[in-house]
Amino acid sequence: MSANWSVQDDIRKEQRAALKGMSPKQKIAYFWQYYWLQTVIAVASALIVISIISSMASNKPYSFYAMMINSYTLDSNQMSTDFSAYAGLDNEDYNCFIETDVVMEGEDFGQHAYAIVQRIMAMIMGGELDVFVSDGITFVGNAHNEIFIDLRYVFDAAELSAYEGNIFYIDQAVIDAQNDSAIEQMVEEALHSPAPAITNADLSAYREPWAIEQMQEPIPIGIFVGDSPLLTESGAFPTGMPVFGIIGNSQRIPVARQFLWYLMGEE
């Protein structure tokens, strides 16, 4: 028998002798005095393992992912559950998530808003984000980043005509001009100067017939959904005039279409 084993055996004998005659309360106090650190480490390790296993189990691919910026009053879990049932999505092997608690104020583009933009772009690049809904002012800012799909590739003429008067158009000629190297420098300089405030009234330039007629190459990239029963009843988007758009590289276009119908209360 090694000296090490002999010492450990002696310690165990002393511990057993010390525990004899103790009440249950005294035994707990004794155990805690000598083994509290080992217990804390063991419990913490177990919790970490459980957390990792749980995370791996719930790390399912998305059946749909929407982000609703500045909606303020919507409940993410409730909307995700309701829409999943509406669209008949598979919740066994996939996750449906509608993120409703993101706030991005256009007037104060600080570190918080910058981090959100980075996350949105990362999600788009990773093919995770399907739909973007925001107040109109925020939508305008993102429309110029060319992240939205031309809705003529999503809806046929008859389907799109049902939203006539509520379609958000952008002039592709303006976008192309911004991508010009000569114009790009001007845009870069403008980013360091205070931008003129955009109001809800200015949004008419993206939907009214007179404005669309003045565009060289009007592209429908969004739908104004202010008439949505769900959004109206919940008091969402208090800053007004929410707009729906589908991300250009979404791999779940059919579900994105269903989300628009869900917002508009269509069967």
**pLDDT surpassing 90 at residue 98:** yes
Provide the pLDDT for residue 145: 80
H-helix segments, the chain: 3-19, 24-58, 76-87, 111-125, 136-143, 157-161, 172-178, 181-190, 209-214, 229-234, 253-263
Per-residue pLDDT tens for 199-232? Answer: 777 888 898 888 889 999 999 999 999 999 999 9
Per-residue pLDDT tens for 7-36? Answer: 556 655 665 666 566 555 455 555 555 555
Strand locations in 204-252, DSSP E?
Answer: 218-224, 242-246
What does pTM read for this prediction?
0.72
Kindly compute the dihedral angle of the four CA atoms of residues 107, 109, 113, 118, in this order, to the nearest 10 degrees.
130
pLDDT-derived band at 192 (thresholds 50, 70, 90) equals very low
Per-residue pLDDT tens for 114-172? Answer: 788 888 889 999 999 999 999 998 898 888 888 999 999 999 999 999 999 999 999 98
CA separation for the pair 243, 221 (Å, rounded)? 10
What is 43-106 written as a DSSP string? Answer: HHHHHHHHHHHHHHHH-PPEEEEEEEET--S--HHHHHHHHHHHHT--TTT-EEEEEEEE---T
Domain locations in the chain as residue ranges: 3-57, 61-263
Tell me which fold the domain 61-263 belongs to: D-Maltodextrin-Binding Protein; domain 2 (3.40.190)
